Amino acid sequence: MKKQFSLILFIVFFSSNVFAALEVTISQGKVEPTPIAITDFFGSSDKAAKGGKILREIISNNLTNSGLFYTVDEDLYIQSDNLVDKVPRFEDWKIIKAQFLLSGDVNYSNNTYIVKIRLYDVFAGQEIKAVKMSIPNLELIRRLGHKISDLVYERITGEGGYFDTRIVYISEVGPLNQRVKRLAIMDQDGHPDSHQFLTNGKNLVLTPRFAPNNQTITYMEYENNIPRVYIYNLKTGVREIVGDFPGMTFAPRFSPDSQKIVMSFSDPKTANTEIYLMDLNTRTIERLTNDPGIDTSPSFSPDGKKIVFNSDRAGYPQLYIMDTNGKNIKRISRGKGVYGNPVWSPRGDQIAFTKLTQGLFHIGIMDIVGLNERVVVKDFSLESPAWSPNGRYLIYHRQKRSKEDGTGGQTSIHFIDITGFNERKIQTPRDGSDPAWSPLL
Partner 1 sequence: MYIQKILNPFNQIRFYLEDFFYQKKDNAFTFLSILVHILFLLPMISLTFNKDKITDIPLILPVEMFIVEEKTAAPEFKQEVNEVIPDMVEQVQETEEEVIEEVEQIVAKEEILATESVEEENDFVIEKKIKPEEIIEEKPVEVKNDFEIKLKNKPEPKEIIEKPEVEIVLKAKPKKKSFNVSKVLKDIEQESKDFKKEQETTEEKQSDVFTDEVGEKMTISELELLKQQLYSCYTVPAGSKGFEDMKVQVQIFVNPDRTVKEAIIKNTSKMSTDPYFRTAGEAALRAFNHPKCSTLMLPEDKYDEWNEINFTFDFSWMFDKG
Residues that bind partner 1 (CB under 8 A): 21-32, 34, 68, 74-78, 80, 94-97, 99, 121, 123-125, 154, 156-159, 347, 349, 372, 374, 391-392, 417-419
> To the nearest whole angstrom, how small is the minimum distance from the Cβ of residue 19 to partner 1?
9
> To the nearest whole angstrom, how small is the minimum distance from the Cβ of residue 162 to partner 1?
13
* CB closer to partner 1 out of 337 and 432: 337
Q: How far is the C-alpha of 231 from the C-alpha of 217, rounded, in Å?
A: 6
Q: How far is the C-alpha of 170 from the C-alpha of 228, rounded, in Å?
A: 16
> To the nearest whole angstrom, how small is the minimum distance from the Cβ of residue 333 to partner 1?
16
CA atoms within 13 A on the CB side of 164: 19
> To the nearest whole angstrom, how small is the minimum distance from the Cβ of residue 59 to partner 1?
18
> To the nearest whole angstrom, how small is the minimum distance from the Cβ of residue 371 to partner 1?
9
* CB closer to partner 1 out of 75 and 139: 75
Nearest to 419 by CA among 387, 392, 397, 437: 392
Nearest to 103 by CA among 141, 143, 59, 147: 59
> To the nearest whole angstrom, how small is the minimum distance from the Cβ of residue 130 to partner 1?
17
* CB closer to partner 1 out of 266 and 345: 345
* CB closer to partner 1 out of 134 and 157: 157
**Residue 363, SS3 per DSSP:** strand
* CB closer to partner 1 out of 277 and 366: 366
How far lies 350's CA from each of 61, 79, 100, 328, 398, in Å? 28, 44, 30, 19, 22
* CB closer to partner 1 out of 348 and 409: 348
* CB closer to partner 1 out of 96 and 242: 96
> To the nearest whole angstrom, how small is the minimum distance from the Cβ of residue 116 to partner 1?
23
> To the nearest whole angstrom, how small is the minimum distance from the Cβ of residue 427 to partner 1?
23
Contacts (Cβ under 8 Å, ≥6 apart) of 340: 297, 310, 317, 353, 354, 355, 356
Where does 160-246 show beta strands of DSSP type E? 166-173, 180-187, 196-197, 204-210, 216-223, 226-233, 239-244
Asked if 276 and 262 touch (Cβ cutoff 8 Å), the reply is yes
H or E element that contains 62: helix 46-65
Contacts (Cβ under 8 Å, ≥6 apart) of 331: 314, 318, 319, 320, 370
* CB closer to partner 1 out of 224 and 372: 372
Contacts (Cβ under 8 Å, ≥6 apart) of 62: 145, 146, 149, 153, 163, 189
